[in-house]
Amino acid sequence: MNRTLKVTKLQLVKLSGFALTPVFILAIVMLASIIISLALQRAGVTPDQADYVEGARNNPAIAWSLPGFLIYYGVQAVSTTYPFALALGTTRRNFILGTFLANALQAAYVALLLLALLGLELATGHWFTNSYVLDTYVMGAGNPWILLVTGFLGVLGCLTIGGVFGAIWVRFGSKGPAILGLALGLAAAIALLIVAPNIGEIFASITGADLALAAGAIMLVSLIATWFAMRRASVR
């Protein structure tokens, strides 16, 4: 356990990426959403209309803003720290567990950050401009518990997926992640082809619990894949 915690501490050394980058990304997305909302209002859209609120709450910007950075962060958390950690005597199992614990801490941090921003959004009447950034359907429509769970699982899932690509790069080199990405894209396309006739019914029947279970399954598969990839990975 002590070696696992040492890996976690090692991952948390990069505080600028851990703490500051998500803040900058969220700030830019919030500013862009507010500007777009003000532009729509200047164009004649009335914020008091029910259609406006319905449309504004469909804003998915906050959900699309972080995954790119988080997956990259997950990749480099494995690929750049792995050689140094093993040089210090850490086992591969301890490295994977310690990295996952660090990812869980970052997921909790981002989830709490989102919760604080949601509180500010609601307290200020949607940033004094009727701009819906976090009080959106994809983030729970103002429900703090749904936002916390969504934020935590979403962030942890992205970091864990990134870790798989990092492990594949360490094990197989630069071609590994490209082949994995192509394989996953092909699998997704085949799955879409199979369910296409019933896709509307499938999406309509999906619940929040189903999404949480799916996120947990993806993370478990990602951890197992990371472990198998790194069992024989050499230190580069």
| pLDDT category of residue 112 using cuts at 50, 70 and 90 | very high
- Ranked by mean pLDDT, the top range of 43-47, 138-142, 144-148, 230-234 is 144-148
Q: Which of 17-31, 44-58, 129-143 has the least mean pLDDT?
A: 44-58
Q: Which of 91, 35, 42, 32 is nearest to 64 (CA)?
A: 32
Range 188-216 average pLDDT: 72
More confident residue, 196 or 41: 41
pTM, two decimal places:
0.84
- Ramachandran bin of 142, using left for φ above 0, alpha for ψ from -120 to 50, beta for the remaining angles: left
> pLDDT above 70 covers what percent of the chain?
88
pLDDT at 66 over 90: no
d(CA 90, CA 92): 7
pLDDT at 90 over 80: no
| CB neighbour list of residue 118: distance below 8 Å, 6 or more residues apart | 134, 135, 139, 142, 144, 147
d(CA 11, CA 101): 9
pLDDT at 50 over 70: no
